[in-house]
Chain A
Amino acid sequence: MTLDVELVLDLIAEDLPAAERQAQGLGLTLHRGEGERALDFYIPYAAQDGQDYLIRLRRDGYDEQAPSFQFVNPQNPEETGPQWWARMAGIGYPHGDHGEVVYCTPGIREYHQHSSHRSEQHPKSTWKLARVIWLTWKYLYDSGSYAGRGGV
């Protein structure tokens, strides 16, 4: 899927103030990747065992497609994989066609791309960044107890 990058950036700029408010209200820190044209946003998470995590919300193709939600290597955000995920006791961890871990809820790109859900129709508001920020908070703080790194 190819979208005009300028259009994507405009749509992101339109959504960003609400997303930043949402992050503040939920006690999360939202960072944008380097530069005003960055399409990646990051939310750090420090677990109670001292482990540091980093969630990457990738918004290429916005708003025709939902943001991607992946835990990444905090030292190298291009590196993804199950070993970078914070495991939560109340979450199931299906994998996508390319082995990617899926946070399985509407609004997350990997959910919509999963073979079980491709035929579903959802309004674009399902993946507005502010809502995805809430889904992120829900994952981190309202999905059962923290169960350690990886193994997802």
Chain B
Amino acid sequence: MQESNTPSHESQIRVTVLGQEGDEKIVTINPHEPCEQLLRAGLHALYGHPGPNPDEYNLVFKGVVITPLTQTIAAADITDGAVVSIQPKTISRGSH
């Protein structure tokens, strides 16, 4: 597992982010940042720069889509060692 290059800091937490195929990376982030920042950082950690469009992804924690993404990471109860999943908002469906 690779860790993102964000510098570690006492006030920061480590969050494991999972991608669509269960691939995982660790993001180090300030819990007072908004969740949208965790989404961006997670996408960058999983898929590199330039990452996919964050607007097309959900941040899922404990099975629930986090909304609004403007709330802080701490307000969403994401703490050090938490596991969040970053998943596309849409899937293709067949038509019959």
Contact = CB atoms under 8 A, between A and B. Distances in A.
Nearest to B88: A134
A70 B16 CA distance: 30
Given A27-B62, A28-B63, A142-B65, A116 B22 contact: no
Given A26-B63, A27-B63, A141-B63, A134 B20 contact: yes
Contacts of A92: 93, 96
A131 B94 contact: no
A25 B83 contact: yes
A104 B94 CA distance: 5
Contacts of B62: 27
Interface of A: 17-19, 21-22, 24-28, 92, 94, 102, 104-106, 111, 114, 116-117, 125, 128-131, 133-135, 137-138, 141-142
A22 B96 CA distance: 30
Interface residues of B, number: 23
B92 interface: yes
Given A104-B94, A105-B91, A21 B18 contact: yes
B53 to A, nearest CB: 18
B20 A130 contact: yes
Given A22-B18, A24-B83, A25-B85, A138 B91 contact: yes
Nearest to A114: B94
11 contacts: A21-B18, A21-B24, A22-B85, A24-B83, A25-B16, A25-B60, A94-B96, A104-B96, A117-B94, A129-B22, A134-B85
